[in-house]
């Protein structure tokens, strides 16, 4: 018999979490704080408490089992607790130690595999989080070009560091191109080091670069807007960015923290056949273990080092042996073409199925993104940048997301986050997801919910 859906234990634990953790979480991004969830669902938990995850499934403390399409915000490319990765990790931690503070052959093995996989990579430096990687990337670009300003785009997130924590998701009324500060504590003065542009807007970007190229060290971009529902680049757009950078002695940084090893073995660079000067990686590189990388052309990367004019890159946990063991096994698995073949086939059938159900229900449905990371929008108007996304209709998404949870399928409460798939998602998951989707849109269309209009949700 189908279990009654309840989040009672999560609600209770969340109340306890508020006693010990500010806002009850250890990352603001884990807070399903918005009325999209709290008002739609019964009870008012702002976070679901997870008990375990295995393969393509995740279980919460109320014993609800879900097909997991969040995958920890994207890292889990092979599946949770994937045997080959766990075997390598256990071997490392049980027999060979967890930290050395010295070089090891393992880091050379991983570096060699990584450099072979990533088109722009000639050398690489490993650290722990995506934020560290983007921080090092812009420091490197500033040192190499001897310029200070970074041009970034609205709707792009590059981690929580001060220099880039602008305009990832500005609120509804915020004027375009005006840097939006996402956090208190970031000095107002650093605004002068940032320019914000509209993505996919060839003309406007070229105009800004022409006017400011003497100050711009780098343009940093997610090659697919992984933090804005998977908006893809217009034809020729990434090539245009590269050529613009070359023309004005600016470095192009691809932040492949989400796309890397997820949408193709060589990431967006491979898919779109455009190489940046520098790239950052994390998430899928370790199938969920803590590892990131900054990589690029040798003469740029050679700025890392010791002494005058050199760029500092250090960290107790950089190239940690346990993470390296995970990355080593992950890269071995991913180098087998079967993995991406499976992902492509699964994604195609999932997306085709969703479109078919949507069309039969007469919904104005469109899918943004690519195989491995995509999102469903109930709005047919074209979405090419953050403002298009901000103005798109979201209310139906929230209702369907809630009904999907009840049906045992977990996607994020926020449609700016993508739906991710892994190598472990199988035929049973596909059928369950499509059946759940059909039921969810039926219920969401019929039920009266109290959803706060998105334009009224404060950041
Ligand atoms: C594109 C992108 N860059 C950087 C980051 C920051 O990575 P981390 O959370 O590992 O610091 C994220 C996190 O989601 C991201 O999506």
Residue pointed to by tokens 């995506």? 130
Do the domain assignments include residue 342?
yes
Identify the three-state secondary structure at position 201. coil
Res 45 pLDDT > 70: no
CA distance 332 to 26: 32
Give me ligand 1 centre to Cα 4, in Å. 36
Q: CB-based burial of residue 433 (10 Å sphere; 0-12 exposed, 13-18 middle, 19+ buried)?
A: buried
Element spanning 60, H or E? strand 57-60
Cβ(159) – ligand 1 distance below 6 Å: yes
Half-sphere exposure of residue 227, counting CA atoms within 13 Å on the CB side?
18
Q: Are residues 106 and 245 in the same domain?
A: yes
Nearest CA to ligand 1 atom 3: 158
Considering 318, 334, 350, which residue would you say is the last residue of a domain? 334
Q: Judge whether 49 and 10 are in contact, CB under 8 Å.
A: yes
Q: What is the CB neighbour count within 10 angstroms for residue 42?
A: 12
* pLDDT tens per residue across span 339-365: 999 999 999 999 999 999 999 999 999
Supply the CATH number for residue 233's domain: 3.40.640.10
Res 78 pLDDT > 70: yes
Do the domain assignments include residue 323?
yes
Q: Are residues 268 and 375 in the same domain?
A: no
Do the domain assignments include residue 158?
yes
Cβ(257) – ligand 1 distance below 6 Å: yes
Question: In a mutational test of the pocket of ligand 1, which residue from 283, 293, 315 has the highest number of ligand atoms less than 8 Å from its CB?
Answer: 283
Considering 300, 334, 368, which residue would you say is the last residue of a domain? 334
Q: Are residues 114 and 202 in the same domain?
A: yes
- Which member of 60, 68, 201, 255 is catalytic? 255
Q: Are residues 60 and 143 in the same domain?
A: no
Nearest to 451 by CA among 44, 32, 39: 39
Mean pLDDT of the residues in the chain: 94
* Whether residue 249 lies in the annotated active site: no
Which residues neighbour 105 within 8 Å (Cβ) at sequence distance 6 or greater? none
Considering 278, 307, 334, which residue would you say is the last residue of a domain? 334
* DSSP tag of 94: I
The greatest distance separating any two alpha carbons of the chain, rounded to the nearest whole angstrom, comes to: 69
Res 455 pLDDT > 80: no
Nearest CA to ligand 1 atom 7: 130
Res 181 pLDDT > 80: yes
pLDDT band at 449 (very low <50, low <70, confident <90, very high): confident
Question: In a mutational test of the pocket of ligand 1, which residue from 157, 226, 281, 373 has the highest number of ligand atoms less than 8 Å from its CB?
Answer: 157
Tokens coding 89 = 């990790």
Q: Are residues 286 and 423 in the same domain?
A: no
Do the domain assignments include residue 1?
no
Domain count, the chain: 2
Which residues neighbour 9 within 8 Å (Cβ) at sequence distance 6 or greater? 49, 60, 61, 62
Cβ(282) – ligand 1 distance below 6 Å: yes
Res 57 pLDDT > 50: yes
pLDDT at site 47? 81
pLDDT at site 454? 67
pLDDT at site 456? 66
Do the domain assignments include residue 2?
no
Distances (CA, A) of 324 to 6, 102, 137, 391: 39, 13, 20, 42
Q: Are residues 153 and 194 in the same domain?
A: yes
Do the domain assignments include residue 3?
no
Q: Are residues 426 and 302 in the same domain?
A: no
Supply the CATH number for residue 43's domain: 3.90.1150.10
CA distance 58 to 295: 33
Residues of the chain above pLDDT 90, percent: 86
Higher per-residue pLDDT: 37 or 244: 244
Distances (CA, A) of 147 to 142, 214, 400: 5, 7, 47
Res 44 pLDDT > 90: no
Q: Are residues 24 and 42 in the same domain?
A: yes
Q: Which range of residues forms the domain containing residue 318?
A: 83-334
* pLDDT tens per residue across span 304-321: 999 999 999 999 999 999
Q: Are residues 344 and 318 in the same domain?
A: no
């Amino acid at each position: 018999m189908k279990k009654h859906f309840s989040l009672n234990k999560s609600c209770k634990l969340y109340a306890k979490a508020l006693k010990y953790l500010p806002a009850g979480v250890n990352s603001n991004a884990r807070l399903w704080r918005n009325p999209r969830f709290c008002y739609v669902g019964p009870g008012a938990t702002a976070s679901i408490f997870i008990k375990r995850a295995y393969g393509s499934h995740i279980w919460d403390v109320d014993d609800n089992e879900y097909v997991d399409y969040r995958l920890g915000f994207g890292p889990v490319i092979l599946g949770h607790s994937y045997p080959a990765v766990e075997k390598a990790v256990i071997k490392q931690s049980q027999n060979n130690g967890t930290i050395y503070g010295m070089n090891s052959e393992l880091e050379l093995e991983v570096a060699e595999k990584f450099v072979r996989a990533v088109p722009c990579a000639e050398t690489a430096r490993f650290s722990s989080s995506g934020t560290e990687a983007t921080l090092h990337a812009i420091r490197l670009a500033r040192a190499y070009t001897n310029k200070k300003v970074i041009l970034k785009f609205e709707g792009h997130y590059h981690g929580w560091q001060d220099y880039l924590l602008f305009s990832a998701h500005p609120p509804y009324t915020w004027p375009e191109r005006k840097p939006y500060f996402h956090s208190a504590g970031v000095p107002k003065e650093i605004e002068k080091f940032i320019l914000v542009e509209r993505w996919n807007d060839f003309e406007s970007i070229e105009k800004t670069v022409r006017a400011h190229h003497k100050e711009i060290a780098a343009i940093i971009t997610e090659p697919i807007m992984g933090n804005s529902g998977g908006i893809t680049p217009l034809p020729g757009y990434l090539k245009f960015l590269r050529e613009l950078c070359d023309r004005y002695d600016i470095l192009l940084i691809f932040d492949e923290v989400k796309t890397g090893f997820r949408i193709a073995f060589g990431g967006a660079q491979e898919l779109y056949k455009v190489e940046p000067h520098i790239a950052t990686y994390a998430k899928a590189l370790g199938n969920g273990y803590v590892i990131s990388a900054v990589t690029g052309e040798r003469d740029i990367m050679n700025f890392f080092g010791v002494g005058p004019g050199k760029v500092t890159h250090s960290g107790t946990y950089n190239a940690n042996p346990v993470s390296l063991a995970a990355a080593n096994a992950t890269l071995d698995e991913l180098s087998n073409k079967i993995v991406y073949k499976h992902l492509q086939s699964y994604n195609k059938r999932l997306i085709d199925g969703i479109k078919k159900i949507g069309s039969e229900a007469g919904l104005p449905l469109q899918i943004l993104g690519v195989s491995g990371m995509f999102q469903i929008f109930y709005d047919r108007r074209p979405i090419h940048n953050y403002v298009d996304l901000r103005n798109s209709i979201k209310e139906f998404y929230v209702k369907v997301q809630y009904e999907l949870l009840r049906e045992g399928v977990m996607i994020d409460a926020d449609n700016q986050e993508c739906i991710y798939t892994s190598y472990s998602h199988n035929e049973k998951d596909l059928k369950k997801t499509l059946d759940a989707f059909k039921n969810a849109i039926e219920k969401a269309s019929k039920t009266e919910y109290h959803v706060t209009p998105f334009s009224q949700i404060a950041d």
